[in-house]
Amino acid sequence: MNYRTRIKKIQKHLSEKKQFPYLVASLVNIKYCTGFEGSYGYLLFFEDETVFISDSRYEEYALMVLPKNVHFMLQQKDFFKTLKALLKHKNINKIFLEEHSITLSQYRMFKEECKGVTINYGGDIINELRIVKDEDEIENIKKATQITDKCFYHILTLIKPGVSEWDIAIEIEYFYKKHGCLGTSFDTIVASGAGSSMPHYKTGTKKIRSGEPVLIDMGCIYKGYCSDITRTVFVKSIPESISTIYYVVKEAQQKAVDAVKAGLTTNKLDSIARDFIAAKGYGALFGHSLGHGVGLDVHEIPAVKQNGSVALKKGMVITVEPGIYVPKKAGVRIEDMVLVTSSGHEVLTKSTKELIIL
């Protein structure tokens, strides 16, 4: 990753908006800007320099990984006292905060320690830059999806009556770590039977039984970048009513995937799948949004939903994941990750979407 270039790009954006100094407290945004992956630190963009502040635990590591155009400053006592001294040294009495960057308690500490410093809303500049991935990011995401696809085919050999949901979830995490991943990109969902009707089911000790659907929503983190895929398979048999639902979801998902291209707005993409499902009589059973962005976070902007209107751009990576959920009976969801390209799109997740009965 060329972190020096990213710092320069952000400096340019902030200069155009006249938003110096700009405080970044989000660790994932700090990672995006600098490559720092520790659990504590703050990044400050000034007009004349960029400063990273952390404590003694990370001094050696930070000096090793920070790009050369970011200066390390060792925190004295606490961050807000260090910030106060730095602003005073630079004769600055204002600061811009990135959106969603600090907690209420941090805000109160800032106000108490830095009296006389005006706090300004700084928008969401870094998240807006993260929405379009560069070549290095896309390569890492592709590798994450390749590992996830391999994992899916591996666990198909393990799903059978008597095996618990946890058994499958644990095997998924083990597989990821054995293949060079940090771990899962979110808590793996293995939802069997009636549990599959809950979109964000909590995987448990329930044992899989014959005749049940098994909805698997899983993803890994490879070199910091996430994957996210969902498939629904069936054990021994499938009721005709659920088979019908499976093919409706499959066709709705494929129609939406086929439509992905630069310029299409997220709400229009959502409506392609949603309208098809509604036309088949299942509209009330598809309640969540169609998808979301994926990158350093498994859920990023843009949200692919009814009331969002973000135009897709080359380099965006999104999920397309319609579902139909029959309360207390069964649910079906199919999810792929899709890269927006100059010629349309590329489906990054390759696992089969054909109906599987194990």
CA end-to-end span of the chain: 42
Query: Position 227: which residue type?
Result: S
Query: Residue 321 and residue 298: Cα distance in Å, rounded?
Result: 14
Q: Which residues contact 262 (CB under 8 A, 6 or more apart)?
A: 311, 312, 313, 314, 340, 341, 342
Give domain 3-130's CATH superfamily.
Creatinase/prolidase N-terminal domain (3.40.350.10)
Q: What is the pLDDT of residues 161-198, one digit of tens each?
A: 999 999 999 999 999 999 999 999 999 999 999 999 99
347 to 181, 182, 295: CA distances (angstroms)? 21, 23, 15
Q: What is the pLDDT of residues 237-295, one digit of tens each?
A: 999 999 999 999 999 999 999 999 999 999 999 999 999 999 999 999 999 999 999 99
pLDDT at position 1: 87
- Is the Cβ–Cβ distance between 333 and 249 less than 8 Å? yes
pLDDT at position 99: 86
Tokens 């996210």 — which residue?
Answer: 228
The 10 Å CB-count burial string (b at 16+, else e) for 95-121 is bbbbeebbeeeeeebbeeebeebeeee
Please say if the pLDDT value at position 308 is more than 90: no
Query: Position 287: which residue type?
Result: G
Give domain 135-347's CATH superfamily.
Creatinase/methionine aminopeptidase superfamily (3.90.230.10)
Please say if the pLDDT value at position 102 is more than 90: no
Q: How confident is the model at residue 315 (pLDDT cuts 50, 70, 90)?
A: very high
Chain CA centroid to CA 253, Å: 20
As a whole number, mean pLDDT of residues 14-37 equals: 97
As a whole number, mean pLDDT of residues 87-112 equals: 91
As a whole number, mean pLDDT of residues 4-19 equals: 96
Structure tokens at 37: 């992956």
Percent of the chain with pLDDT over 70: 100
List the chain domain ranges. 3-130, 135-347
Please say if the pLDDT value at position 101 is more than 90: no
Query: Residue 122 and residue 117: Cα distance in Å, rounded?
Result: 15
Closest CA to 225 of 260, 182, 257: 182
pLDDT at position 100: 83
Query: Residue 318 and residue 338: Cα distance in Å, rounded?
Result: 5
As a whole number, mean pLDDT of residues 310-333 equals: 98
The 10 Å Cβ neighbour count of residue 240 is: 7
As a whole number, mean pLDDT of residues 144-167 equals: 99
Q: What is the mean pLDDT of the chain?
A: 97
Residue 310 carries which DSSP code? P
As a whole number, mean pLDDT of residues 145-163 equals: 99
Closest CA to 335 of 217, 214, 206: 217
SS3 for 121?
A: strand
Closest CA to 239 of 211, 263, 214, 266: 211
Structure tokens at 176: 């990821």
pLDDT at position 77: 86
pLDDT at position 72: 98
As a whole number, mean pLDDT of residues 73-82 equals: 93
Please say if the pLDDT value at position 142 is more than 90: yes
